[in-house]
Amino acid sequence: MNRFFGNKKAIALFILPAMVLFTALVFYPVLQVLFRSFYDWDGLGKGIFIGVDNYIKIFDDTIFKTAVKNGLIFAAIITVYQIGIGSILAFAVSNVRIKGRNFFRIVYFLPVVLSVTVVCQLWLNVFNTEFGLLNKLMEVVGIDFRQSWLDDRYKAIYVLAFVNAWHYVGYQFALLLAGIKSIPSTYYEAAKIDGASSFLAHIKITIPMLSETYKFCLVMSITGGLNAFTQMYIMTGGGPGTSTYTLTFLMYRSAFQTYQYGYGMTAATILVIECLVATILINKLIARKHITY
Partner 1 sequence: MKKKYSLSNILYKVFLWSYGLFSLYPLIWMLFYSFKNNDEIFISNPFGPPLIFHIENYVNAWTVYNVPRYFFNSLVVSVFTVIMTISVALIFSYATARMRWKFSGVARIYVSIGMFIPVQAILIPLAIIVRDLNLNNEYLSLILPYTAFNLAFSSMVFYGFLRSLPVELEEAACIDGASIYRTFFSIIIPTVKPAIATMIIFTFLQAWNEFPIALVLMTKENMKTLPLGLLFFQGRFTTDWGAMGATMVMASLPTVLLYTIFSNQVEKAMTISGAVKG
Could you say which residues in the range 97-156 bind partner 1, by CB under 8 A?
97-98, 103-118, 121-126, 130-131, 133, 136-137, 140
Q: At a CB cut-off of 8 Å and minimum separation 6, what does 74 contact?
A: 157, 160, 161, 164, 225, 226, 228, 246
Is the separation of the CB atoms in 231 and 120 below 8 Å? yes
Q: Shortest Cβ distance from residue 155 to partner 1 (Å)?
A: 19
Per rule CB under 8 A, is residue 255 in the interface with partner 1?
yes
Per rule CB under 8 A, is residue 157 in the interface with partner 1?
no
Nearer to partner 1, 154 or 258 (CB): 258
Q: CA 252, CA 281: separation in Å to the nearest integer?
A: 27
Angle made by CA atoms 135, 140, 141, in degrees to the nearest 5: 95
Q: Which one of 56-64, 72-80, 93-101, 145-153 is the stretch in contact with partner 1 (CB under 8 A)?
A: 93-101
Q: Shortest Cβ distance from residue 213 to partner 1 (Å)?
A: 6
Question: Which amino acid is residue 141, in one-letter code?
Answer: V
Site for partner 1 (CB under 8 A): which residue of 171, 209, 245, 253?
171
Q: Shortest Cβ distance from residue 52 to partner 1 (Å)?
A: 19
Q: Shortest Cβ distance from residue 94 to partner 1 (Å)?
A: 10
Q: CA 131, CA 119: separation in Å to the nearest integer?
A: 17
- Could you give the dihedral angle defined by the CA atoms of residues 261, 262, 266 and 269, in that order, rounded to the nearest 10 degrees? 80
Nearer to partner 1, 44 or 154 (CB): 44
Which residues, numbered 204-223, are part of the site for partner 1 (CB under 8 A)?
A: 212-213, 215-217, 219, 223
Nearer to partner 1, 154 or 290 (CB): 290
Per rule CB under 8 A, is residue 229 in the interface with partner 1?
yes
> Per DSSP, what are the bridge partners of residue 40?
48
**Distance of CA 189 to CAs 125, 192, 202, 276, Å?**
47, 5, 12, 40
Q: At a CB cut-off of 8 Å and minimum separation 6, what does 229 contact?
A: 246, 248, 249, 252
Which residues, numbered 45-84, are part of the site for partner 1 (CB under 8 A)?
A: none
For residues 14 to 33, the per-residue mask of contacts with partner 1, x marking binding by CB under 8 A and - elsewhere, is: xx-xxx-xx-xxxxxxx-xx
Q: Which one of 45-53, 64-72, 152-160, 250-258 is the stretch in contact with partner 1 (CB under 8 A)?
A: 250-258
